[in-house]
Structure 1
Amino acid sequence: MNARHENEADLKGSLRLALSPVAMTITSLLTAPFAERHPGITISVQCKTMPEIERGIKEFEYDVGVTYLDGLTLGGLRPYTLYDEAYYLLVPKDHFLSDRETIDWLEVGGLPLCLLSPNLHNRVIIDRIFASVGATPKAVIETNCSLGLFAHMRTGNWLTIVPHSYFYLLGDWLFIRSIPIVNPSTTATIGLVIHERDPISPNVRAFVEVAQQAAIGKQLDRYRT
């Protein structure tokens, strides 16, 4: 075993992660390779809003955040890009829209939707896109839980909008069809944030290294339909 691997195996202690709700879907793409390389470190994963993540990193409540980089408002945070998420309309396989290859945001705005809560940044982004095309979405149901989106979509009474990172969990669920939403084809960047300080703690530095090597964007592209 070379010196580098000996040092990696010697890392001990804990690592506290705070992730935005939409980023929870890709957690294992980060934690699994990290835990394999650094088995001596225990990992805590919390689901938090963007303001909670920013404040928690600044106040040393969390070591690493995973969230939207475009919505950061506090200084003193160091960002690392992971991937750009794209948006899809999810419909049941027997829905009248299920054979569509694409759908415009303006048309989606006229459909009965179940969306994430307005205080979550994913919803802020979606509302911003709708506003850019002059649409006001019909958010009949709002929830802060992604499982609530899937549950209501499956009934056929409501549809939902998700980032393509969700396909890592959805896989080949046969009752779902995903339709890319275009005009505009918009993306938002998800990344790591850590406290801007020097030196960085060994555990945080090790996690950033693993995350950068994981090529999350390329991994998620394999799950696009």
Structure 2
Amino acid sequence: MRINTEIGELQAFLAVAQKSSFRAASESLFISQPALSRRIDKLEKDLKCQLLERTTRRVSLTDAGRQFLSHAQAVIDELERAYQGLEARAVARTGKVTIACVPSVANHLLPSVLKDFARTYPSVRVKVIDESAQTVLDSVREGLADFGLSFLGSQEAELDFTAIRAERYVVVVPKEHALARRKTVAWRQLEKEPLVSVSSTSGNRLLIDSAFAKTSKRPTIQYEINHVTGAINLVAAGLGIAIIPGLALDAQLHPGLMGVPLVDPAITRTLGLIVRKGDKIHDMARVLADTLSAAIRDS
């Protein structure tokens, strides 16, 4: 049997099956709806059966479509793994390193480390995935990054987590704020302060909420924002205080702010190096991972 099916047709079918909508599927693939329909029509013609039941309101899978779905997904998954494997081999030859790291590391330590790294290895290309802790984990797990730097991962069976250092949480305030004169601040002393908080989906927020649960009262969250960097900028604008990991505050970028360690309770997170279990990262990635780890320990 000669197979005439193209990868784009399988991707079109999977997108429609997932979205249950030709419009949403075409948008996700960045093609027009007529082009999407042509791909589906050709696939059904090649297979000599109807895969999708179309009505004016929705799109659903036929029995044949449900049967074909798992096979189509398996083909795409296998092809993606093949591409990732070949890309990993190419990366080792051409000198490209992909890092996944939480924003506090990317914003505070990475620029100076990369500057020194570039002096010694000017031909090595570096890609940085500076996203949430969960995205860092997923990037390493899926082979999109050579290694990750995050405070999550020690409990992941398919990942190796090597602890680098414990990072203490601080309350960030303007230098003229009353709390800036203290050596430490107890959580209960934040009760009347307007709080700038990271979003509830953040790993930082989970630690912060856990600490507040041990106090009788908590401050009002006046502003909520996705990333720690944004929270720091709102504090710099005089809109409130923020609770952040200590490494996230760069004195050079925000000379008008200071971080005061939190106590009662004091909370920390452990930053670590993450690689896929059993993987041996290539030489340039190892050099950069070791350099970053040293910078984190010394900061």
TM bucket, shorter chain:
0.7 to 0.9
The SS at the match of 2:180 is coil
SS for the counterpart of 2:126 is: strand
Q: Secondary structure at the match of 2:204?
A: helix
Matched, 1:177 2:255: no
For residues 68-110 of structure 1, the C-alpha deviation after alignment (integer angstroms, 9 at most, x for no partner) is 14x5553211112222111221222222333222210122244
Judged with a 3 Å threshold, the aligned counterparts in structure 2 of structure 1 residues 31 and 78 are, in CA distance, closer, same or farther, namely farther
Is 2:235 the partner of 1:141? Answer: no
1:51-79 Cα distance to aligned partner (Å, 9 max, x none):
2222221111111111114x555321111
Pair 1:188-2:275 in alignment = no
Q: Please show how residues 1-80 of structure 1 align to structure 2 within 5 Å.
A: 12-24=94-106, 25-69=108-152, 72-80=154-162
Query: Equivalent residue for 2:205?
Result: 123
Equivalents in 2 of 1:29, 1:174: separation in Å? 18
What is the aligned partner in structure 2 of residue 216 from structure 1? Answer: 296
Equivalent in the alignment of 1:223: none
**SS of equivalent residue, structure 2 residue 182:** coil
Contact 1:95-1:156 at 8 Å conserved across structures = no
Q: Distance in 2 between matches of 1:180 and 1:81?
A: 21
Distance (Å, rounded) in 1 between the aligned partners of 2:160 and 2:240: 39
Residues 198 and 190 from structure 1, CA distance in 2 versus in 1: closer, same or farther, beyond 3 angstroms?
Answer: closer
Query: Structure 1: any 5+ residue segments left out of the alignment?
Result: 1-9, 221-225
TM-score (norm 2): 0.61
Amino acid at match of 1:118: S
Q: Is the 8 A contact 1:11 1:38 kept in 2?
A: no
Give the whole-Å Cα distance in 2 for the aligned partners of 1:14 and 1:68: 24
Measured in 1, the distance between the counterparts of 2:204 and 2:271 equals 11
Partners of 2:145 and 2:273 lie apart in 1 by 12
Query: Closer, same or farther in 2 for the Cα pair 1:90/1:62, shift >3 Å?
Result: same
Greater helix share, structure number: 2
Counterpart secondary structure, 1:210: helix
Match of 2:84 in 1: none
**One-letter amino acid matched to 2:198:** L
Map of 1:3 onto structure 2: none
Greater share of strand? 1
Q: What is the Cα deviation at residue 141 of structure 1?
A: 0.7
CA 1:80–1:135: 2 relative to 1, 3 Å: farther
Higher relative contact order (CA 8 A, sep 6+): 1
- Alignment correspondent of 1:100: 182
Separation in structure 2 between the aligned mates of residue 12 and residue 109 of structure 1, nearest angstrom: 54
Distance in 1, matches of 2:103 and 2:118, equals 21
Structure-2 separation of matches of 1:30 and 1:11: 23
Which segments of 5 or more consecutive residues in structure 2 lack a partner in the other structure? 1-91
Structure 1 vs Structure 2 CA RMSD:
2.5
The CA distance in 1 between the partners of 2:288 and 2:253, in whole Å, is 30
TM-score by length of 1: 0.79
Structure 2 counterpart of 1:217, one-letter code? R
Between 1:169-178 and 1:125-134, the stretch displaced more is: 169-178
